[in-house]
Amino acid sequence: MKISTVKAKSILVKSNLPASDYVANPYAGCVHNCRYCYASFMKRFTGHGEDWGTFLDVKDYDSDNIPRLLKGKTVLLSSVTDPYNPYEMKYRKSREVLERLSDTEAHVEILSKSDLMVKDIDLLKRIPDLSVGISLNTLDDDFRRDMEPGAPSVQRRLKALEALHAEGITTYLFISPIFPYITDIRAIMEAANDSVDKICFENLNLRGSAKGEIIGYIAEKYPQYLDGYKLIYNKGDLFYWEQIKADVEAMSEQYSIPLVNYFYHAKIKKGGKKND
């Protein structure tokens, strides 16, 4: 892993994402190295020749540049890296940002695949308006290893949600990305339902080189689903997502838990947001 320190002008950047006004990415690159990573396009802004997942830039910045007047604004950590990658325990750049935000009136959202945030429970409890999410798309650690080789195990993530929730921190489960035919949404919801305040969903969106990578993986490991993947990703058929959306809404009623649908396609997203 190549670790460098880089100087960043600002750590808080205005965001076009639907649910956040600002994003903070204390690192560039991500050691979790997910095979489907949506953020790998960021490599071209880093100047790195190495493969995505093999470098991490630790951002140095002037924390005075974080504005204090953030009332009514949502700040997300992070959008193109994991704020609790294992090097956070050494560099503490995410903690620094959170310390600063704890003095503001921002709504702070943390989204990670890691359980390391439990080490910051003391600080998290001091942030007045916070929600903490953990992404999970399988209960099968073999599949998790194939897709997210650098990220913590399923059990570690479930335990982290439990620990955060037990401390009174608002938590959510982000079932993302949903792999057609592989992600068992009901089983994941059941595993985490008692530890979260809401559940968000996002379907697998394949762009750029990730499309060939994932379709190749499915052909090798799950050939029985290959035709379905081709229909969804080569022909743009929405049948699978429409079914999942209906299933998820039924489950929300059954489990009495709010859900937020982040399905990317406008046609399947329409009407899918509930109880946010």
Smallest gap from Cβ 250 to ligand SF4, in A, equals 28
* Smaller CB separation from ligand SF4, 37 or 127: 37
Beta bridge pairs of residue 56: 3
Report helix, strand or coil for 252: helix
Number of other CB atoms surrounding residue 67 within 10 Å: 14
Question: What are 273's two structure tokens?
Answer: 């947001």
Q: How far apart are CA 246 and CA 233, in angstroms?
A: 20
In whole angstroms, the minimum distance from the beta carbon of 69 to ligand SF4 comes to 29
Whole-number Å distance between alpha carbons of 181 and 5? 41
- For the CB of residue 40, give the shortest distance to ligand SF4 in the complex, in Å: 7
Which residue, 144 or 251, is less far from ligand SF4 as judged by CB? 144
Measured CA distances, 224 to 89, 228, 229, 240 (Å): 41, 8, 10, 15
State the nearest-atom distance from the C-beta of 216 to ligand SF4, in Å.
Answer: 18
Residue with tokens 């750049």: 93
CA distance 2 to 194: 39
* Minimum CB distance to ligand SF4, residue 177 (Å): 8
Residues at the interface with ligand SF4 (CB under 6 A): 30, 32-34, 37-39, 81-82, 113
Which of residues 1 and 39 has its CB atom nearest to ligand SF4 in the complex? 39
Q: Shortest gap between Cβ of 158 and ligand SF4 (angstroms)?
A: 17
Of 54 and 155, nearer to ligand SF4 (C-beta) is 54
Cβ proximity to ligand SF4, 81 vs 131, nearer residue: 81
Let me know how long the chain is: 276
Residue closer to ligand SF4, measured from CB, 46 or 102 = 46
Round to the nearest angstrom and report the end-to-end CA distance of the chain. 39
